[in-house]
């Protein structure tokens, strides 16, 4: 398919593009260790490509002449037609930002928040065997207190005020994909062992690392994309100040 003719989708992301040095160093370390252990089986993403999705803005497939922008995630989660509206987007972000995200260095008693989807901090980095992705997870906190679900609150307000529905319910984590890995059948046993070893090594490194990054308006963007991994060559990031033009972004080509 010619990417120039491919349909565009949008998603609201954080930390897409250049990043502060400590976070870049953490990403580079995790990726280089994965390459060292897995060799050509692991393909790291470009550092600038790594991001966290705040909430998906993907639209339902509709006739080209239709004006409504219906949330695809609302259809998948609720089997409902929910129209996305963008006039409240900036105000909702103003009320909920900045948010501080922490990677690694958690205390044994730290919990992300008291909800049914609580995940232990030992899942701060792992290889997802089902999706074949290396995943790094950060957690929002306020002054070291992880009890308040800051990202979940933002996602819920985006759903209520804008019809922008996040893919996952009750989600309070800052989920980043650092790369992908293959699973060749001929070396399946060796790859499983290598995955287990490097995963344990990375988790041990995260236990001794504590990195806080504040996500403010400047780190939030609307990504117009074709490929869900948001490669730089086919993705364009727009400032959230450009909310008046959001509907047109579903129909226009990226500015790359």
Query: Residue 42 pLDDT more than 70?
Result: yes
E strand map for 86-124: 99-103
| Residue 3 included in any domain | no
How much is the pLDDT for 68?
Answer: 82
Structure tokens at 66: 């239709």
How much is the pLDDT for 186?
Answer: 47
| Residue 46 included in any domain | yes
| Residue 20 included in any domain | yes
Residue 244 to residue 68: CA distance in whole angstroms: 15
| Residue 255 included in any domain | no
| Residue 1 included in any domain | no
Query: Residue 10 pLDDT more than 70?
Result: yes
| Residue 175 included in any domain | yes
Burial 44-53 (b: 16+ CB within 10 A, else e): bbebbbbbbb
CATH code, domain with 135: 3.90.1140
- Per residue in 184-234, pLDDT tens? 554 566 678 889 999 999 998 998 889 999 999 999 999 999 999 999 999
| Residue 36 included in any domain | yes
The total of structural domains in the chain comes to: 1
The residue assigned the tokens 């990195």 is 211
Distance between alpha carbon 127 and the CA centroid of its chain, in Å?
15
The whole-chain average pLDDT of the chain stands at 87
Q: What are phi and psi of 246, to 5 degrees?
A: -55, -50
Q: What average pLDDT score do residues 95-117 get?
A: 76
Query: Residue 1 pLDDT more than 50?
Result: no
How much is the pLDDT for 8?
Answer: 84
- Per residue in 62-91, pLDDT tens? 654 457 899 999 999 999 999 999 999 999
Structure tokens at 12: 């609201």
Instruction: State the residue range of the domain holding 164.
Output: 8-249
Q: What average pLDDT score do residues 116-134 get?
A: 77
Nearby residues of 102 by Cβ (< 8 Å), 6 or more positions away: 138, 139, 140, 141, 210, 211, 212
How much is the pLDDT for 111?
Answer: 62
How much is the pLDDT for 251?
Answer: 79
Q: 132: left (phi > 0), else alpha (psi -120 to 50), else beta? A: left
How much is the pLDDT for 2?
Answer: 42
Q: 44: left (phi > 0), else alpha (psi -120 to 50), else beta? A: beta
| Residue 129 included in any domain | yes
Query: Residue 30 pLDDT more than 50?
Result: yes
């Amino acid at each position: 398919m010619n990417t120039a003719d491919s349909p565009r989708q949008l998603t609201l992301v954080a930390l897409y593009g250049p990043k502060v040095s400590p976070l870049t160093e953490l990403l580079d370390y995790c990726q280089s260790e994965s390459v060292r252990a897995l060799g050509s089986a692991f393909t790291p993403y470009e550092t600038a490509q790594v991001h966290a999705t705040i909430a998906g803005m993907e639209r339902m497939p509709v006739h080209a002449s239709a004006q409504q922008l219906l949330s695809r995630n609302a259809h998948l989660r609720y089997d409902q037609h929910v129209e996305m509206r963008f006039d409240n987007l900036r105000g909702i972000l103003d009320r909920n930002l900045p948010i501080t995200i922490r990677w690694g260095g958690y205390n044994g008693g730290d919990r992300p928040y008291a909800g049914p989807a609580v995940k232990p901090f030992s899942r701060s980095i792992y290889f997802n065997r089902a999706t074949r992705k290396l995943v790094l997870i950060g957690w929002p906190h306020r002054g070291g207190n992880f009890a308040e679900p800051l990202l979940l609150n933002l996602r819920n307000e985006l759903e209520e005020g804008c019809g922008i529905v996040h893919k996952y319910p009750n989600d309070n984590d800052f989920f980043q994909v650092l790369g992908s890995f293959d699973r060749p059948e001929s070396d399946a046993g060796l790859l499983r062992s290598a995955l287990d070893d490097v995963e344990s090594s990375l988790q041990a490194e995260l236990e001794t690392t504590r990195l806080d990054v504040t996500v403010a308006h400047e780190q939030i963007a609307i990504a117009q994309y074709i490929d869900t991994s948001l490669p730089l060559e086919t993705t364009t990031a727009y400032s959230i100040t450009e909310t008046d033009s959001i509907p047109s972004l579903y129909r226009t080509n990226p500015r790359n």
